[in-house]
Amino acid sequence: MTHVVIVGSGFAGCTAIRKLRKAGFAGQITLVSPRPEFFYFPSLIWVPCGCRTEQDLRIDLTAFLERQRVAHHAARATGLRPADNVLLTDRGEIVYDWLLVASGGRYLRKLPGIEHAHIVCEGWETVKRFSDRLHGLESGHLAFGFASNPKEPAAMRGGPIFEFLFGVDTLLRKQGRRDHFQITFFSPAPKPGARLGEKAVQRLLGRMNKLGIETHLGHRLKRFEPDRVVTEGGEVPADLIAFIPGMTGPDFAAESGLPLSEGGFFQADETCRSPGAKNVYIAGDAGSFPGPEWRPKQAHMADLQAETAVRNMLAAMQGRPAEHRFKTELICIIDSVDSGVLVYRDPRRNFQLPGKPFHWAKVFYEKAYLRQYANP
Ligand SMILES: Cc1cc2nc3c(=O)[nH]c(=O)nc-3n(C[C@H](O)[C@H](O)[C@H](O)COP(=O)(O)OP(=O)(O)OC[C@H]3O[C@@H](n4cnc5c(N)ncnc54)[C@H](O)[C@@H]3O)c2cc1C
């Protein structure tokens, strides 16, 4: 029986499972990830306002995997022997016929003093710590910022830091204590959020100005200290720092024998194949894909890439040419707890639509998305 092995139970991995079974794939599927769970990262932004609990975001996949006839191998991938079709894990080796690497990315921790910043994209624990600190402060300086991977500028996560920033501003206003805090937004980029489009940058900076949020832009970051962010252009006072560093590939990439990008991601082509490797596909944040300079690292792209990888994998299994390509499309709602801005970009169009309904659209999308994996 043909054996497909998928590494990672995030957006790309779980979408690949659904698409494989939907297309009628009847072979064996093994999912390799530390736990049989799916984590819904986009709603981490609603943890500081108390609108989401850990239970809301951590979805047990046991029933989903049973429904989809998928065996779960609870382990971390540690390497690969591509010539032998063998995936190495910390709980043994797995032989595959076809492999999909969908293990997400990691955040760079190279800046000195990074332990003083809360890397609010990493997961529940960090965001909860950030939230608890915020609620414990009576007054002070808050700093929010992000950076990219200098070796691969597209490897960044910008959108969520704006959501944390505007969400915290809204929360403090609702609590009647916004004037006890000075908030600064920092980034080495002179135009933060440029990938969302020129107008989006103007809108974001205009909004910060209106809300009394200061900016410190265009200066390389030097280090974090317990009470400040130090850049080549000066210092930002900070009793609490939320920071999203640039991204790099998964920890086992270097041990995989697969081609890697400058920034340490699995190199993939426009059909989601790992070039030169036999029967290996890549999807989601783990990969470096061709595309315009604004190409996003997003759940939406992870889903599109997983679908493309599956279609090409199935075509190749049947000896047909693997010629499906994914569309590069940036679509997100930058939420501020009580309102939102829809941002859309593809090679032809780029627009934004602000409004309260977009907050509710984001909530609705979350519910609909998670229903696919929920226990009946
Ligand atoms: C705060 C925040 C807000 C966001 N908002 C949005 C949004 O509004 N819209 C949007 O489209 N995107 C958003 N994103 C981005 C989105 O969450 C990611 O792009 C998406 O999670 C990538 O999916 P993935 O499947 O590639 O990786 P992940 O979802 O990170 O999943 C990776 C999986 O691989 C597993 N894994 C990791 N290492 C190993 C290993 N060595 N062996 C085995 N398994 C491994 C992990 O446990 C996990 O199951 C947001 C992200 C954050 C953090």
DSSP track, 278-320: SSEEE-GGGEE----TT----HHHHHHHHHHHHHHHHHHHTT-
- 333-374: per-residue pLDDT in tens? 999 999 999 999 999 999 999 999 999 999 999 999 999 998
Q: Which atom of ligand 1 is nearest to the CA of 287?
A: 26
Pocket test for ligand 1, best of 5, 6, 9, 11 (most atoms within 8 A of CB): 11
Kindly give the distance from the C-alpha atom of residue 299 to the centroid of ligand 1, in angstroms, as a whole number: 7
11 lines ligand 1 (CB under 6 A): yes
Q: Which residues face 187 on adjacent strands?
A: 217
SS3 140: strand
76 lines ligand 1 (CB under 6 A): yes
Is 305 close to ligand 1, i.e. is its CB under 6 Å away?
no
- Regarding the beta carbon of 250 and ligand 1, being less than 6 Å apart is answered yes
| Any atom of ligand 1 within 6 Å of the Cβ of 160 | yes
CA distance 326 to 282: 12
12 Cα nearest atom in ligand 1: 25
The residue assigned the tokens 């293990």 is: 103
N-terminal to C-terminal alpha carbon distance within the chain: 29
Residue ranges of domains in the chain: 3-105+249-317, 110-246
Q: 351 C-alpha vs ligand 1 centroid, how far in Å?
A: 25
> In angstroms, how far is CA 67 from the centroid of its own chain?
27
Q: Is 103 in the pocket of ligand 1 (CB under 6 A)?
A: yes
Q: Do domains 3-105+249-317 and 110-246 have the same CATH topology?
A: yes
Q: Quick check: CB of 287 below 6 Å from ligand 1?
A: no
Contacts of 292 (CB under 8 A, 6+ apart): 328, 347
Measured from the CB, is residue 104 less than 6 Å from ligand 1? yes
Instruction: In whole angstroms, give the CA distance from residue 125 to residue 235.
Output: 28
User: In this predicted structure, what is the pLDDT of residue 375?
Assistant: 76
* Distance in Å, CA 10 to ligand 1 centroid: 6
Among 285, 289, 305, which residue has the most ligand 1 atoms within 8 Å of its CB, making it the best to mutate? 285
CB atoms under 10 Å from CB of 138, counted, come to: 7
- Spans in the chain with pLDDT lower than 50: none
| Ligand 1 pocket residue status of 252, Cβ below 6 Å | yes
pLDDT at 231: 98
Q: The dihedral of CA 39, 43, 48, 54: what is its sign?
A: negative
Domain 110-246 listed as CATH 3.50.50.60: yes
- Asked if 273 and 312 count as a contact pair (C-beta separation under 8 A), the reply is yes
Q: Is the CB of 130 under 6 A from ligand 1?
A: no
Class of the CATH domain delimited by 3-105+249-317: alpha beta
Most distant CA atoms of the chain, gap in Å: 65
For residue range 154-210, list pLDDT tens digits in order: 999 989 999 999 999 999 999 999 999 999 999 999 999 888 998 999 999 999 999
